[in-house]
Amino acid sequence: MPGAVLRRTGPAYLVDKTDTVSPRLAAVGAGVVLDGISLSFGGIRALTDVSLDVAPGEIRAVIGPNGAGKSSLINVLSGLYQASAGRVRFGGRVFSAVPPQELAALGVARTFQNLALFPGLSVADNIAAGLSFRRLSGIWGNVFSLPLARQERAAHQDQVREVADRLHLTADLDRLVATLPYGLQKRVELARALVAAPRLLLLDEPMAGMTATEKAEMAGFVRAARDRSGLSVILIEHDIGVVMGLSDHVAVLDHGVKIADGTPDQVRRDPEVIRAYLGAA
């Protein structure tokens, strides 16, 4: 069934589970399944028939040379790009096109390759923005401080404090985010993604440009978040040392095609991966 037709009807992008969904999509309960995702920009094929299963509580790295399609994959998952073929499944729902504005409600959070914070807001407000999809109170409630708005504000404040505490950001909560050093800003972005307790976390180069210490710290935060709530993580990262240490499984993309998928050890020894990406030692 072509995706274009599905998109026009009913609760868009939701594919009826009973019909042509492949057995792979139906089999896996929770977690994330990408089934045969292809993406092209004009004549350029960014992704070709990429499939990926990520179990709950799994940290899955996606590596590959520049232009391999790693960020495209995350952008398809977060609905910023529409796959030309293939389906995505989060929890119980299957999508031919992921609706980005509903992503947070679906339990998916992401960070961006280049910082995508709100420089005009404090650290606390940046993190709290990750909760705004849950807010029921509107303009009037907030202007007049009605009970619902007050309760929500207090509850969100507690959640912000709690996640800030876990990521060692408490001391900086009141600072304008633009005044923080780069490494801390990356951490604020992680906090914003984690504050709503997502089921799936998409991290697009969370450690790019960091010092070795900062990278180790960041890896620790990601692992702790996974251990704490059993969320799935899809991680794009270039630092092979960090990737191999942090992830349960590693998928390798080259020219938009998945060329390997396995445990870090399997991938490290794969001749195809060595040729395309790692290089001979």
Partner 1 sequence: MTFVADNPLATPLTRHLPLAAGLLLAFVAVPAFASDYVIEAILLPFLALSLAGLGLNLLTGYTGQVSLGSAAFMAVGAFAAFNLEHRIDWLPLPVSILLAGLTAAAVGLVFGLPSLRLRGFYLAVSTLAAQFFVQWALTKFGWFSNYSASGIISAPSLHVFGISLDGTAGRYLFALSTTALITLFVHRLVISPIGANLIAVRDNETAARVIGVPVLRTKLAVFALSSAIIGIAGAIWAFAYLRTVEPAGFNLDRSFQILFIVIIGGLATVRGAFLGAALIVIFPLLLSRFTGLAFDGVADAGVLKLIERIFFGAVIIAFLIAEPNGLSAILSRITRRFTR
- The answer to whether residues 50 and 36 touch, using CB atoms and an 8 Å cutoff, is yes
Q: Which of 52, 196, 251, 252 binds partner 1 (CB under 8 A)?
A: 196
| 129 contacts partner 1 (rule: CB under 8 A) | yes
- Is residue 112 near partner 1 by the rule CB under 8 A? yes
136 binds partner 1 (CB under 8 A): no
Residue 89 is a binding residue for partner 1 (CB under 8 A): no
Which residue, 84 or 113, is less far from partner 1 as judged by CB? 113
Query: Does residue 93 belong to the site contacting partner 1 (CB under 8 A)?
Result: no
Q: Are strands 108-110 and 200-204 parallel, antiparallel or unpaired?
A: parallel
Which of 147, 74, 143, 142 minimizes the C-alpha distance to 112? 74
H-run or E-run covering 34 = strand 32-41
Residue 243 to residue 61: CA distance in whole angstroms:
6
Contact in structure between 99 and 14 (CB atoms under 8 Å)? no
3-state helix, strand, coil in the chain (%, to 5): 40, 20, 35
Task: Tell me 134's DSSP state.
Answer: G
Minimum CB distance to partner 1 smaller for 86 or for 130: 130
Tokens of 139: 């303009």
Our finding on whether 184 is near partner 1 (CB under 8 A) is no
We find the least distance from the C-beta atom of residue 142 to partner 1, in angstroms, to be: 4
- Token pair of 101, please? 């504005």
The residue from 31, 69, 79, 206 that contacts partner 1 (CB under 8 A) is 79
* One of 101, 136, 271, 281 touching partner 1 (CB under 8 A): 101
Binding site for partner 1 (CB under 8 A): 78-80, 100-105, 109-110, 112, 116-122, 124-125, 128-130, 132-135, 138-139, 142-145, 149, 152-153, 156-157, 160-161, 173-174, 192-193, 196
